[in-house]
Structure 1
């Protein structure tokens, strides 16, 4: 009987570091340069997921998009008030 996890990529330290940085950039994107840090967090989250840190890598990518959108909405609200 074949192991279903035999083809799964093992999680590496690089994957975990990329995922953590993705979450950190998601938080920074809310406060400072949302498009730049949101995009960087998105890329790092995807890289972390592809390198084997699933599903946290995908969560980091999604959090970065949400952080960038939230940061842009907050900036627009502050500039237009």
Structure 2
């Protein structure tokens, strides 16, 4: 008896089946949260990269990771400017 492959299933707009793992998405979300307070350009961009890679792997939380990382980058930069001006006048 030969093994038959499973029938083709249409999963909608995805390239394939959504990935059950959300590891890169969670790493992207954590990096985005860290970017609010520490080194926004470094952590924010790293979070965005993790989110984009997760999106390419069809992870469920990829869009959240990208959004949190972008918000962390922008808000972290604004907070940095505000704190810097408050400390040194300007």
Question: How far does the alpha carbon of each residue in 1:31-58 deviate from its partner, in whole angstroms, 9 at most, with x for none?
Answer: 100000000000001111111113x202
Which of 16, 24, 27 in structure 2 is aligned with 1:21?
Answer: 27
Corresponding position of 2:4: none
Q: Is the 8 A contact 1:12 1:51 kept in 2?
A: no
Task: Extract structure 1 runs of 4+ deviating beyond 3 A.
Answer: none
- 2:16 matched to 1:8? yes
| 1:61-80 pair list within 5 angstroms | 61-80=66-85
TM-score by length of 2: 0.76
Corresponding position of 1:43: 49
Structure number with bigger Rg: 2
TM-score by length of 1: 0.84
Alignment coverage as a number of residue pairs: 77
> Which has the larger share of helix?
1
Gaps of 5+ in 1: none
Superposition CA RMSD, Å: 1.8
Gaps of 5+ in 2: 1-7
